[in-house]
Amino acid sequence: MKNLKPLPKLKNEKEWAHFWMTHDSTEYVDWSKAKKTVFPNLKPTHKSISLRLPVYMLDEIKLLANKKDVPYQSLMKIFLAEKVKEEIAV
């Protein structure tokens, strides 16, 4: 077993998020001792936003959504998620 680094003392969730985005967890956590956990009542956090789109673009999105038989807001979330995943992978 390798020696694990001690976790730093961080002040808030933002600092923890930055820490884990910039550090390898295997240096701090022995994942061989991890246990699977299920949080059945945990719901993802959502935030409503206002988004200004050209009318033609919204109309095209609604047409695409109709063809796919999904709500247009859901289709927009799918498109955004795919693009974010693609950009992060670069």
User: Does the structure show a pLDDT above 80 at 2?
Assistant: no
pTM of the predicted model over 0.85 = no
- Domains in the chain, CATH or no CATH each: 49-90 (1.10.1220)
How many of the other CB atoms lie within 10 Å of CB of 62? 15
What is the mean predicted confidence (pLDDT) over 24-36?
92
Give the span between the Cα atoms of 10 and 14, in whole angstroms: 9
51 close to 80: Cβ distance less than 8 angstroms: no
Q: What pLDDT is recorded for position 1?
A: 56
- Sorting pLDDT into bands at 50, 70 and 90, what band is 84? very high
User: In 3D, which of 2, 11, 56 has the Cα closest to residue 19?
Assistant: 11
What is the mean predicted confidence (pLDDT) over 17-33?
93
Backbone angles phi, psi at 24, to 5 degrees: -85, 120
